[in-house]
Structure formats: structure tokens, C-alpha cells
Structure 1
Amino acid sequence: MSVAELKELFFYQLNNTYPKEEIESFYFLLVDHILNLKRIDLALNPNIEFSKTKQLKFEDALVQLQKERPIQYIIGETEFFSLNFKVNEHVLIPRPETEELVDWIVKSYSSNKLEKLKILDIGTGSGCIPISLAKNLPNAFVYSIDISPDALKVARKNAILNTVEINFIKQDILTTNELNQQFDIIISNPPYVRELEKKEIKDNVLKNEPHLALFVKDNNPLLFYDKITDLAKKGLKSEGTLYFEINQYLGKETLDLLKRKKFSQVELRKDLSGNNRMIKAQL
């Protein structure tokens, strides 16, 4: 089979499930992943042929795509903040909105070349946040907490892949009474999607990504924010900063929570789509 025939097969098999642009994106990602061919290679020689073994890999991927399994889980990796990350069903697929949160921190501290920073990330997942910070803030000591041993296994692999040192800790933040040291930065992208918002979530997310990292009860949607702000009151150094990714519908409620807990310089920011998505505060 040639790559041109493969492209035709992709559109034929997936046309009823995905829009054209998404099918094309899947095609290029899989050709790169399985055949190590870039778009320029395909443009220069659309009749490149490949083995039956490779063809079977493409056919398996097509079956998974027809079942709406995320492409990132199929190829086992994704890009975040210009870095490569391994992902599987034990971790959320990193989102562009989270890149914006990381970018906010990196830009705020990148001019700090001398002072050593201590950073705590709560809710590690794939490790995309702590690893990206460690990679871009080389003067930082980064600690990262998650309740899931399976998620921590993925995160440790990603730290090795991206050649950074992170202190990973298995810990349930909701049962933690205090942090045993102080930090310049505490950051978290905790579960924040309410059960009532499930109808807004795509089926492929609901079917495949870990609900433990996504959902909170409708009657206590700020559960994690409430707990983490309490821990941060003692766990932040003087002039330290707390950063959160937040539920776009609960921007005011999160801001009010931080003010009620006596945090100051509270700043709520929108993401590139115009939704309330991140917030920072200091004591």
C-alpha cells in the first residue's frame, strides 16, 4: 500500500465520524509516528509504499479511531509546551489551556536567574506542568504530588524522557493536614468539572480519560481549591504565589474563595478562547 492509498482509506473509513480537518490531522500524526515521514516527505513523494506489518498498524489505529479513542492514546504520546510526553488512560491528555497557565508562570519568573525557586505541583497527571516548569526554569526545585500510582509512573517516565529531575510524591491532598516545607510557587490543575457539566464533555473524553482527574460533585465543586488554599496559607513563602487552572463557569466563586481566605493580589485571567481559565494570588 502507498501513503496516497492510505490517505484515501482514512477518509473513507472515518468520514462519518470526524470532520475533514481532524481526519487529515490523524493521518499525518500516524504517518509520522509509524513511518517517521513528515508532511514534506509525503508532498515530495505521495507514492511511497510501506510493508504489510506497517499496514496492520494503520488498520489497528483506524479501528481505534472508529471507536473514538483519542489519537494521543493510540500513539501513546502528545506535545505540550514544545516538549514530548507519553500518555495513556491513567492520565489526562494535556490541554492547550494548561499551556497558557505554564506560560504565565514561566514569563513571570524567567528573569529570575539567580534565586533558587521551590515549586509544588498538586495533581501531577502526566507531569506536563512540573516537567515544563523544570525545563524552562532551570533554577527551580520542583516537587509534584498525585494520588494515583499509575499516573506517577507515567510522570516519572516523562521526567526521564525530558531530562529533568522532579521529586514525585504519592499523596492524597484531601487528607493532607499540612505541607512539610514552604514553596515559592504552588500550582494546581485539580479536578473541576461538575457532574452537571458532563453533557458538555465530548464522548471520547468521557469514554477514555480518567474521571478521577476530571470531575467533582455538584454540591462542592471547589473542594480541591478550598483544601489547597488552606495548605498554601502555611505552605507558601513570604511573597510566594498560588496558581490555579479553574472551571470557566466558576471564576467569580474561585476569586471570592481566595479573597475570603485572605489572599491578596488576586488576578483572574481568560484563556485564548475568552473563558475564565486561570487565577493567581499571594498572601
Structure 2
Amino acid sequence: MILLYSQVSLRFSTGKPDRTREHTFHNEEPEKFKALRKREEKFQAKKCTSVRHEDDMPVAYLRGTQEFDGLSLFVEKQSVIVPRKATETLVHACMNALRDVVVDRPRILDLGTGSGNIILALLNRLPAAFGVALDLSTDALRIASSNADSLQMSDRCSFHEADFAQLHKSDKIPSELRNELRRGFDLIVCNPPYYSTKDQLHMSTSSRKHEPRMGLITDGGSYKCYEDICRYVKQPVLLEDTPTCKFFSLNPQYSSTFTGRYESAGTRA
């Protein structure tokens, strides 16, 4: 139900026909009606954003875009996962950490960029920063590049097809990317797939049907991606010149264990 309340003007005549006067009554919206209307509008807006197609497709895929940290990003079914509002917390945490890093042009590495939502949100907040973004999926890189173009950030971020699980093996890294990695980074950020094959039973039907499996589920166990990442970020070539901060998104179920096992890598979760 949507409650509508309007201001009404009433006009009528009084007195004799030759002495007609117009009277206008203006009634402001009562505060309790205004509060109720705003609650109804908020409820309807929330309901509309969660409405799904008859085959349970997220509405973001239907309209082809999703807002993230104030940016409108292209998304595509089975190519990139829909950026979550909760992931904006990762962006905010990175911004807080970078306040302590004294550097004119911060360099940011995004492992598994997907739609590019995290790296592009950070670049939007840090006009002098430069980003390097990796993904295994050519479809994801295509969409991330399109998002960078539409936001006029394509000259501030390079996108590379690469497996971050192999970054500790120099012979597996293309020369162009290797040169970028050797320059070091002030911030490494990652929102990896952290659902195990067993965990996927608890995922929504919508995610299982329409979002790319690669972006959500890891086959090597819940810690597989984190082990791969930490193997790389501990490499001296990455840490010798710059005070690097590392931020990962975690499945809350495993956060305490992860923090204990990998705090030696200087990682924040």
C-alpha cells in the first residue's frame, strides 16, 4: 500500500453575487502522516529493489546495472556477481587505513576484481591513486573495463587476466603484469570466493542459478583462496619498498581462525 497525501486548496464564494470573494484554505501535511508516508515509501523502495523475475533472477541483472558506493556499475548474469552493499564496508576500511599511509599516488592491487566495484570505488575516492586489477574470467574483465570506461577511469587502472593463486610463481605471470607487481603496492584488497562446496547449500537459489560459480565458491575448502593470497603477499618483492596494507572480505564463520593463522602477513579482515 502506498499512502498519498496532498495539500488541498478550497475556493468558494460568499455574500451577494456582486460582492463575490475567494477564500483559499491551505492545509499542511500532518507530521504523523508525513512519518507514515516516509515509512511506506522506504518500504516500497526496498521491496522494489528485491523484486525478482519469475525465474528468481536478481533485479540487478534485469536492469543491467547495480549501484555500489555511489557508482552505477554494469553487471551481467553469469559473468560477474552482483556487488553487495555489505562490501562497501571493505572500501571504507581501506580508506581508513590509507589515512595512515603517507604517499602522494597510492598504488592499489585488486585480486579477483569481478565487476571492478571495489577498485573503482577506491579510485573514485582517491583521485591520485592508480589501480591494478586481476581476474581469471575474461567476461569479468570485459565488464570491469567497461565500468572503468563509463566512469572515465580507464587511464587509472590496468586490468589483467591472471590467477592470483599462481602469483608466487614468476613464470606463470605475463611480463606486463610482472612489471606492475614489482613496483609494489600501498594497498592490496580482495573479496574472494569464500563459500565451500558444502556451504553452497546455504546460498540463495537466486545466487546458485544466476551468479557465476567462480565468484562465490571455492573447490579447495573454505581457506583455499586465503592461503593462495597469503602465499603471494608474503613475497619480499611486494613488501620491501612500500608499507603495504592488505584487506580481505571473510566469511564470518571463519574470520577468527583466518586472523590467527595469517596475521603474520599483516592482513586485516
Once the 2 structures are TM-superposed, how far is the Cα of residue 256 of structure 1 from its aligned partner?
A: 2.1
Gap runs ≥5 in structure 1: 1-19, 31-61, 268-278
User: Residues 147 and 71 of structure 1: is their aligned pair in 2 closer, same or farther, counting only changes over 3 Å?
Assistant: same
Whole-Å separation in 1 of the counterparts to 2:133 and 2:217: 20
Whole-Å separation in 2 of the counterparts to 1:228 and 1:21: 44
After TM superposition, the structure 1 = structure 2 runs for residues 118-129 of structure 1, keeping only pairs within 5 Å, are: 118-129=107-118
After TM superposition, the structure 1 = structure 2 runs for residues 1-283 of structure 1, keeping only pairs within 5 Å, are: 24-25=44-45, 65-89=53-77, 90-109=79-98, 115-164=104-153, 165-176=156-167, 177-178=169-170, 180-181=181-182, 182-217=184-219, 220-234=221-235, 235-236=238-239, 237-259=241-263, 262-264=264-266, 267=268, 279=269
Spell out, residue by residue over 1:9-33, the C-alpha distance to the aligned partner (whole angstroms, 9 max, x if none): xxxxxxxxxxx99994488569xxx
Indicate if the aligned counterparts of 2:81 and 2:215 stay in contact, CA closer than 8 A: yes
Q: Give the SS at the match of 1:216.
A: coil
Higher share in strand = 1
Indicate if the aligned counterparts of 2:66 and 2:72 stay in contact, CA closer than 8 A: yes
User: Residues 76 and 113 of structure 1: is their aligned pair in 2 closer, same or farther, counting only changes over 3 Å?
Assistant: farther
Indicate if the aligned counterparts of 2:197 and 2:221 stay in contact, CA closer than 8 A: no
Indicate if the aligned counterparts of 2:81 and 2:114 stay in contact, CA closer than 8 A: yes
User: Residues 100 and 124 of structure 1: is their aligned pair in 2 closer, same or farther, counting only changes over 3 Å?
Assistant: same
User: Residues 215 and 22 of structure 1: is their aligned pair in 2 closer, same or farther, counting only changes over 3 Å?
Assistant: farther
Indicate if the aligned counterparts of 1:195 and 1:216 stay in contact, CA closer than 8 A: yes
Q: Give the SS at the match of 2:159.
A: strand
Taking only the aligned residue pairs, the percentage that are identical comes to 26
Once the 2 structures are TM-superposed, how far is the Cα of residue 220 of structure 1 from its aligned partner?
A: 2.7
Spell out, residue by residue over 1:44-82, the C-alpha distance to the aligned partner (whole angstroms, 9 max, x if none): xxxxxxxxxxxxxxxxxx9x7111111000000010001
Q: TM-score, normalised by structure 1?
A: 0.68
Q: Give the SS at the match of 2:186.
A: strand
Which structure has more relative contact order (CA 8 Å, sep 6+)? It is 2
Gap runs ≥5 in structure 2: 1-39, 171-177
Instruction: Output the amino acid matched with 2:165.
Output: L
Q: TM-score, normalised by structure 2?
A: 0.72
* Cα-Cα RMSD: 2.8
Whole-Å separation in 1 of the counterparts to 2:68 and 2:84: 8
* Number of equivalences: 215
Structure number with greater Rg is 2
Once the 2 structures are TM-superposed, how far is the Cα of residue 166 of structure 1 from its aligned partner?
A: 1.1
